[in-house]
Amino acid sequence: MSTPVLPPLRDMLASLIAINSISSASPQLDQSNQPVIHQLATWFELLGFKVDLMPVHTTHSKKLNLIARYGEGHGGLVLAGHTDTVPCDEHLWQSNPFQLTERDNAYFGLGICDMKGFFPLILEAVKPLLSQKFQCPLIVVATADEETSMDGARALVEAQQKLGRFALIGEPTNMKPINMHKGIMMERVVIHGSSGHSSDPSLGNNALDAMYYVLGDLIQFRQQLAKQFNNPLFTVPSPTMNLGCIHGGDNPNRICGSCELAFDLRPLPGMSTENLRESIQKRLALIAEQHSIDIEFNPLFPSVEAFETPAQSPFVQYCQQLTQHEAESVAFATEAPFLNALGMDTVVLGPGDIAKAHQPDECLPLSRINPFIKILQRLIHHYCITSPNVQTT
Ligand SMILES: [Zn+2]
């Protein structure tokens, strides 16, 4: 077999950094990820992967997921990541965020560690292994819009996409395996009362008065959840609820006609966002009835479930062994709960540092690159090449 001609690692990283793939809730900033996906498709096809592109229908522009497979059969290893980045404050960067720059023993560029830079590392890792026979497939998944709606990952779940048995997501974790994080719900309560002259309360129905009871009830619910659920493996061991903002009324001498509250709720693994929403809905319905007022309750954004792959999972154990680190929890959310929902044991493990992501001068230390490529090679070797004993269903 002739050796495939892939560009050198540095050139691949530079090409991806140069393609703007910002995803944003603001249409002015949002970019399609299609150019990144097409670039990845070209490289993976060069190595003999079979590439499928999956359209992801998002609000602003047309986006794609990529699924690249090498080898046949069931089960196998999935290496997954997102192709989009957050927006950046270009004027605060020391170098052009869209031009790969090397200084202070690190590569700088938007998305270098969070996380377009993951894909060239996969290509570099798998290239020398292709002369061996793959017993189980290696599947690379590159998604759209992780930084905003997670619509790419949602599309995989909606399609019940058959991927693999074990999945690694290369988000920045400082080379430590992560097997759990909290979920995120962002919710909105709107109380519709009616306005009137403040001198006579019977002329209206005060939404702010009702909000007082809603706030009290939510705080009580928060305390109840904290008593009921606790996981010492998290830095903040209880589920949290943050009452984030409130808007209502206009003048002291008018009965407040409507009032709106937005809050977030971060559930622990084992708590379902649907159950939480149902409980809150019931509590609000009670207040609405008691105060003869309309209360609307809906999500501001689709929620992300909490994520946990049991520490006893052979995949978690193997990642611990490879990295010489116990699996931990993190405070940020990832696409892992979506991959778990597709029946895969998922671990988040990547070379970057989350503290360097989402801010000026995002970087990846050069010293992390080769050790991380070795980790990927050992994973591919274990789960795809010498894997007859690995459970594949
Ligand atoms: Zn990320």
What is the rounded distance in angstroms from the CA atom of residue 278 to the CA atom of residue 222? 15
CA 254 to chain centre: 44
The catalytic residue positions are: 84, 146
* Span 299-345, pLDDT tens digits: 999 999 999 999 999 999 999 999 999 999 998 999 999 999 999 99
Calculate how far, in angstroms, residue 21's C-alpha sits from the geometric centre of ligand 1.
13
Q: How confident is the model at residue 58 (pLDDT cuts 50, 70, 90)?
A: confident
| Domain extents in the chain | 9-181+306-385, 184-303
Checking if the pLDDT of 236 tops 90, the result is yes
What is the mean predicted confidence (pLDDT) over 253-282? 97
At 94 the pLDDT is: 97
| The CATH number of the domain covering residues in 184-303 | 3.30.70.360
How many Å apart are CA 85 and CA 16, to the nearest integer? 11
255 alpha carbon to ligand 1 midpoint, in Å?
A: 46
Q: 287 in helix, strand or coil?
A: helix
Amino acid at 167: A
In this structure, which CATH number among 3.30.70.20, 3.40.50.1980, 3.40.630.10, 3.40.710.10 belongs to the domain 9-181+306-385?
A: 3.40.630.10
The rounded Å distance from CA 173 to ligand 1 centre is 10
User: What is the pLDDT at residue 3?
Assistant: 56
Per-residue pLDDT band at 368 (split at 50, 70, 90) = very high
The residue to which tokens 């540095």 are assigned: 10
- HEC assignment per residue over 150-182: CHHHHHHHHCCCCCCCEEEECCCCCCCCEEEEC
Ligand 1 center to 251 CA (angstroms): 44
